[in-house]
Chain A
Amino acid sequence: MKKILGRPESMQDVSTIYCPGCGHGIVHRLVCEVIDELGIREKTIAVAPVGCAVLAYQYWKFDTTEAAHGRPPAVATGIKRILPDRIVFTYQGDGDLAAIGTAETVHAANRGENITTIFVNNAVYGMTGGQMAPTTLIGQKTLTTPSGRDPKLAGYPIKISEALAQLDGTTYIERVAVNSPKNILKAKKAIKKAFQVQLENRGFSLVEVLSMCPTAWWVSPEEALKWVEERMLPEFPLGVIKDKVTSNK
């Protein structure tokens, strides 16, 4: 019998702390599959975030460090500048990347650091129990927006990927989702491309992944898939936001 699917070599054989229906497991797996396919596991150094993925170093079978909240792009900069032939990526949530670490994100991107960022956007702070994220939708109820996010008081869902695309230092930015098999396949393609951009020394690449957080959205895992489709996609449209590689060809 031919084995067509198994655990990626880059994934540890352990169970995760993630809630039922959480998207992190899928995104972890896609990253690991891509690293396996590119044959770069032994030269990869990952930077894990503060947030639900804080324990990523327990799930990945490659060298991983753990940064302070918001600082992964600065940490990755230090790593990559010393070891330019290693593959360095950050794995960050919306609070890490687009709130507390906005400056580090913008400036690593603007310097065109040759690193890859996997940006998991689930519109909420999961680990701390469901507070407003910079990407929380208008009207979305969280612990810190109990009547729903009011833009007059709390601003608007930030489209950081579009903002980063304006910077001359960025090479490749795409937004994907992991709420359906079709979207998951597209997400994998984008993640692979982002790593290839780095392998070819083309500069800063980022994939924003819209992901589910049924626990902090107060919905079932199944409803969470629809929540992405019906509520997140109108605010955060999928697709390539910037691609200097293809447009230069």
Chain B
Amino acid sequence: MAKRLMMGNEAIGEGAIQAGCRFYAGYPITPQNELTAYMAKRMPEVNGVFIQSESELAAISMLYGASLVGARTMTSSSSPGISLMQEGISYMAGAELPCVIANIQRGGPGLGNISGAQGDYFQATRGGGHGDYRTLVLAPHSVQEMFHLTREAFDLADRYRSPVIILGDGVLGQMMEPMEIQPPKASLAKGGDPESRIQDPAKKDWILDGCQGREPRSIKSLILGENSLEKHNERLAEKYKEMEKEIRYEAVEIEDAQAILVAFGTSARICKEAMHRARKEGLKVGLIRPITLFPFPKEIILENAPRIKGYLTVEMNLGQMVEDVRLAVSGRCPVHFYGRPAGGFPEVEIIIEKIKEILG
């Protein structure tokens, strides 16, 4: 298939369209504005809904409404806007409503700056809002991946009836790369009614659409009555456990590696370059790139821990994913960290230096 040059933000938008997303609501924020504009142009072409909402609070609540009647829904924002959406994400997790949320991260805290950063790892992987819940988190590291992980995200959201986060950053959002637009999923292309805004491959039997011929239903996150919320939370936890089936990562040259880099997204691109140069110098180094950040690919990290001299986690923050690496390693080998926050990029030379230190 012919490749075309596309921007990361737009690739997310097209991935959503090809997945049958027919409802997008969002509020402008840099560095993800191209995505909002893309959806404004694209949604009417596929009989979808585009709404520029009055706030991120409203955007996620609009998704709550569109999702509970069965539509595939998406919103996007950048760090400060994602903070505002945490209310709705928690409600959707509680009410078990699927949706896809793209966070094109920028520097924080507060208004921060508009450079690419990875400071929202904790927020994305620990639930983010109030209450005992998690969301699936996918971390693309190329424009092509922004397209196809977004396309996949809708299936995952429906399968687990859960919000799914695409965790990108300003660099990935703004960069252009050649990529292939894969066609809509076969299941959608076959049976989908182009006039309908509900484009799910499988009919959902839990939605609200008027109680014709059945008992009325309710969709809510309010769960009263003795022990009922406890049971609900336990059931959600089982679902999060089940999500471990979806764990994805890329492992590069780890077989003979004595030091392994762990990085996601833009940091992983920098690590690939560092690894390439280090290998040329004869250094035995590999890379594990988590693609699902929750659930975290802890098995592969644990497996390799006893036989290597150490892990080096590289992030565009001051140390967030490194905690998950340490948990996975459980003390079986040293775990080092190198990171730069708020728009700073980890430097290839420093990564190589640190690899040398680990290898001794």
- Which residues of A are in contact with B by a Cβ distance under 8 Å? 41-45, 47-48, 54-55, 57, 60-68, 71, 74-83, 86, 103-104, 106-107, 111
Q: Could you say which of B23, B53, B87, B218 contacts A68, with CB atoms under 8 Å apart?
A: B87
Q: Which of B52-101 contact A (CB under 8 A)?
A: 53-55, 57-59, 61-71, 73, 87-88, 91, 95
B11-19, B150-158, B204-212, B287-295: which one contacts chain A? Answer: B204-212
A104 to B62, CA, bound (A): 10
CB–CB A66/B221 < 8 A: yes
Whose C-beta in chain B lies nearest to the C-beta of A104? B58
A75 to B58, CA, bound (A): 8
CB–CB B211/A63 < 8 A: yes
Q: Is B271 an interface residue (CB 8 A)?
A: no
Whose C-beta in chain B lies nearest to the C-beta of A85? B210
Whose C-beta in chain B lies nearest to the C-beta of A113? B51
CB–CB A68/B91 < 8 A: yes
Q: Could you say which of B66, B73, B218 contacts A63, with CB atoms under 8 Å apart?
A: B218
A132 to chain B, nearest CB (A): 23
Contact with A along B81-124 (1 / 0, CB 8 A): 00000011001000100000000000000000000000000000
Q: Is B198 an interface residue (CB 8 A)?
A: yes
A206 to chain B, nearest CB (A): 17
Q: Is B4 an interface residue (CB 8 A)?
A: no
**Residue of A68, A76, A80, A111 with most chain B CB atoms under a 10 A cut-off:** A68
CB–CB B210/A42 < 8 A: yes
Q: Is B188 an interface residue (CB 8 A)?
A: no
CB–CB A71/B209 < 8 A: no
A58 to B62, CA, bound (A): 23
Q: Could you say which of B71, B87, B210 contacts A43, with CB atoms under 8 Å apart?
A: B210
A111 to B49, CA, bound (A): 14
Q: Is B220 an interface residue (CB 8 A)?
A: yes
Residues of B within 8 A of A103 (CB): 54-55, 57-58
Q: Is B322 an interface residue (CB 8 A)?
A: no
Residues of A within 8 A of B198 (CB): 82
Q: Is B219 an interface residue (CB 8 A)?
A: yes
Residues of B within 8 A of A45 (CB): 69, 208-210
17 inter-chain pairs at a CB distance below 8 angstroms, sorted by A residue, are A41-B211, A54-B222, A61-B216, A63-B208, A63-B218, A66-B95, A74-B65, A75-B64, A75-B65, A78-B25, A78-B69, A81-B23, A81-B51, A82-B22, A82-B49, A103-B54, A103-B55
Q: Could you say which of B58, B67, B91, B210 contacts A62, with CB atoms under 8 Å apart?
A: B210
CB–CB B222/A78 < 8 A: no
Residues of B within 8 A of A48 (CB): 220
Contact with A along B241-274 (1 / 0, CB 8 A): 0000000000000000000000000000000000
Q: Interface residue count for B (Cβ, 8 Å)?
A: 42
Residues of A within 8 A of B22 (CB): 82
A82 to B59, CA, bound (A): 15
Residues of B within 8 A of A77 (CB): 51, 62, 65
CB–CB B218/A86 < 8 A: no
Residues of A within 8 A of B64 (CB): 65, 67-68, 71, 74-75, 78
Residues of B within 8 A of A54 (CB): 222
Residues of B within 8 A of A57 (CB): 218, 220
Whose C-beta in chain A lies nearest to the C-beta of B215? A61
CB–CB B210/A81 < 8 A: no
CB–CB B63/A78 < 8 A: yes
CB–CB A65/B49 < 8 A: no
Residues of A within 8 A of B71 (CB): 82
Q: Could you say which of B68, B88, B210, B221 contacts A44, with CB atoms under 8 Å apart?
A: B210
Q: Is B284 an interface residue (CB 8 A)?
A: no
CB–CB A66/B222 < 8 A: yes
Contact with A along B16-56 (1 / 0, CB 8 A): 00000011010000000000000000000000010101110
A68 to B54, CA, bound (A): 16
Residues of B within 8 A of A41 (CB): 211
Q: Is B148 an interface residue (CB 8 A)?
A: no
Residues of B within 8 A of A68 (CB): 61, 64, 87-88, 91
Q: Is B141 an interface residue (CB 8 A)?
A: no
A44 to B212, CA, bound (A): 9
